[in-house]
Structure 1
Amino acid sequence: MTAPAQVPAGARVILASHNAKKLRELQRILAAAVPGLEPEQVVSSAGIALPDVVEDAVTFEGNALLKARAAAAATGLLAVADDSGLAIDVLGGSPGIFSARWSGRHGDDEANNDLLLAQLGDVPDVHRAARFVCAAALVAPDGAEAVERGEMTGTLLRERRGEGGFGYDPLFLPEGETRSAAQLTPEEKDAISHRGKAFRAVAAHVARLLG
């Protein structure tokens, strides 16, 4: 039997991601939603020896579950994972689950944004509708599972705006906003974002399981 992965003392929830910005987002949301849960009790998988997960599902929900199941099995903790991306109407919903590696290099935000701008260069504003999609999965060590989905609708800008956020945020104008997702404060973004919606829905399951 494989020994459990070593996790920080006091941790109660693990986020199956090395993304520090994603971790802070989940910490803020869970701390507000789960009485008695401190931000430091929500940890990322950075520095923890988890098995490599091949994200070979063809949906956001499927990939989120793959990652959460692996983290729960390896650590014995409640595990949260998400799979998220950008779906553009005129591209038939792409880049979708391939958002992080749209340019061919995983996690290269600048290259991904550059490619998207080039692909949409001749597309008129009326056809630049898009949405961010997030599927957040929660898996407990006893096998209990829940998956929640959140979306943020908007349009694609013609140039980057703002220095905050990550991924495609500088190119995304949320519906009803005059600022890009990268120009919003973290709290403003949490309130309307796809990930904020999905994580808040998952937080209800975390609160129930932690009592």
Structure 2
Amino acid sequence: MSVHSVNGGARVVLASHNTGKLEELRRILADAVPSLTPEQVVSSAGIALPDVVEDQVTFEGNALIKARAAASATGLLAVADDSGLAVDVLGGSPGIFSARWSGRHGDDAANNALLLAQLSDIADPHRGARFVCAAALVSPDGREIVLRGEMTGRLLTAGRGEGGFGYDPLFVPDGETRTSAELTAAEKDAISHRGKAFRAIAGHVAELLES
């Protein structure tokens, strides 16, 4: 697939169909690369990218798999991320299995219910956790950069809030009394693991576009 078959003016592809991630990346890149217009940053939605098997055991490894496939297929700079929740007393689990912790991929209610059950006898001081995101940047000529962002906090015994997704209703970021699901999108972007990872990768996007 050539760059022209994607979008003649596209310069960066995000290997995700998530529109929220795309808008977040566009906002962050707008600050880092003022010459890059939002239309030049596209998602893989509507692009016939090859299916990839996320068979790595780290966030970094799975992010790289997706970014490599997108760069190879489109001829564009490709960004991908992989993220999840790491709970201290569970030894970092659910980790890369966060989206399918209950056995059903993307079933937020079931994932949250299982996690709460597993932590039911864990007192508040020991309910520490962190959201982790690895963002990968791959160029068509094979250059690769992977950076990590984290948001630390603690888990409640019951969910609160209607915003966000995944484990957000259970997670209270450090320095906050509200859960991630009770924060506005802008407030969450400013402190989130994904926002940190995308902001870290943005400077490298600027360097590669100029090289």
> Do both share a fold (TM > 0.5)?
yes
1:47 aligns with 2:46: yes
Partner residue of 1:94? 93
Give the corresponding residue for 2:132. Answer: 133
What corresponds to 2:104 in structure 1?
105
Residues 110 and 52 (structure 1 numbering): CA distance in 2 closer, same or farther, change over 3 Å? same
Letter of the aligned partner of 1:87 in structure 2? A
Q: What corresponds to 1:180 in structure 2?
A: 179
Query: In the alignment, which of 2, 5, 18 is matched to residue 4 of structure 1?
Result: 2
TM-score (ref. length: structure 1): 0.95
2:163 corresponds to:
164
- Paired with 1:45 and 1:66, the residues of 2 have a C-alpha distance of 14
Name stretches of at least 5 consecutive residues in structure 1 with no aligned partner: none
Q: What secondary structure does 1:79 align onto?
A: strand
- 1:39 is displaced (CA, Å) by 2.1
Residue type of the partner of 1:165? G
Equivalent AA in structure 2 for residue 4 of structure 1: S
Structure 1 residue 151: deviation in Å? 0.6
The alpha-carbon distance between structure 1 residues 139 and 131, as it changes in their structure 2 partners (threshold 3 A), is: same
CA separation of 1:155 and 1:165: change in aligned 2, threshold 3 A: same
Counterpart CA distance in 2 for 1:187 and 1:8 is: 29
Asked if the contact 1:156–1:173 (Cα under 8 Å) also holds between the matched residues in 2, the reply is yes
Find the aligned partners of 1:90 and 1:161 in 2 and give their Cα distance: 22
**Which deviations, in whole Å up to 9, do the C-alpha atoms of 1:79-106 show, x marking residues without a partner?**
0000110000011100001111111111
Contact 1:163/1:182 (8 A) holds in 2: yes
- For 1:122 and 1:77, how far apart are their aligned partners in 2? 49
The CA deviation at 1:183 is 1.4
Does 1:77 pair with 2:72? no
Contact persistence 1:35–1:207 (CA under 8 A)? no
Aligned mates of 1:108, 1:9 — CA distance in 2: 37
Contact 1:138 1:146 in 2 (8 A): yes
Which secondary structure state, in structure 1, belongs to the residue aligned with residue 16 of structure 2? coil
Alpha-carbon RMSD = 1.3
Paired letter, 2:188:
K
- CA distance in 1: counterparts of 2:9 and 2:113, whole angstroms: 42
Q: Which amino acid aligns with 1:191?
A: A
Aligned to 2:118: 119
Q: Cα distance, 1:11 vs. partner?
A: 1.7
Work out the CA distance in 2 between the residues paired with 1:44 and 1:154: 30
- Comparing 34-43 with 174-183, greater Cα deviation is found at 34-43
CA distance in 1: counterparts of 2:105 and 2:187, whole angstroms: 27
Q: Secondary structure at the match of 1:141?
A: coil
Q: Deviations over 1:125-151 (max 9, x none)?
A: 111000001110000111111110111
Deviations 1:135-172 (A, max 9, x none): 10000111111110111100011122212222111111
User: 2:154 maps to what in 1?
Assistant: 155
Contact 1:14 1:42 survives alignment (8 Å): yes
Stretches (4+) displaced over 3 A: 3-6
Q: Percent identity?
A: 79
Give the Cα separation in 1 of the matches to 2:49 and 2:134: 21
Instruction: Work out the number of aligned pairs and report it.
Output: 209
